Amino acid sequence: MNLGSFSTYVLHFAGVLIVLVGLSLKPKMKWTGISLAVFGFLLGTSPVWYSALTQPSEDEIYQQWLQQQETYQRQLHEIEAQKAEAESD
């Protein structure tokens, strides 16, 4: 387990604990409890929101794919040229 996945688990469990504390507060402290529950939810889901906001766009993914295909085709042509050169010798 790397540090990124460990911190994700820590944030999820901390968020769940804060939500449970917020929801278990007395009725007198209703708004404080709701605020805590919302904060815990946001904290617990923050790794999901972070990954959704920082992932590459579809255009970026497509451009990377095109570059990979071009590199593959170039390597394939080089190999074929080397084979043809070796056969001609």
Q: What is the DSSP string of 3-28?
A: HHHHHHHHHHHHHHHHHHHHHTS-GG
By CB atoms closer than 10 A (0-12, 13-18, 19+), residue 39 is: middle
- Answer for the pair 19, 33: CB distance below 8 angstroms, yes or no: no
Q: What is the pLDDT of residue 5?
A: 78
- Answer for the pair 18, 39: CB distance below 8 angstroms, yes or no: yes
Select from 19, 13, 18, 8 the least CA-distant residue to 47: 8
Count of CB atoms situated within 10 Å of the CB of 45:
14
* pTM of the full structure: 0.59
pLDDT 10s digit of each residue in the chain, 89 long? Answer: 566 678 888 889 999 999 999 999 888 888 999 999 999 999 999 988 888 888 888 899 999 999 999 999 999 999 999 988 888 76
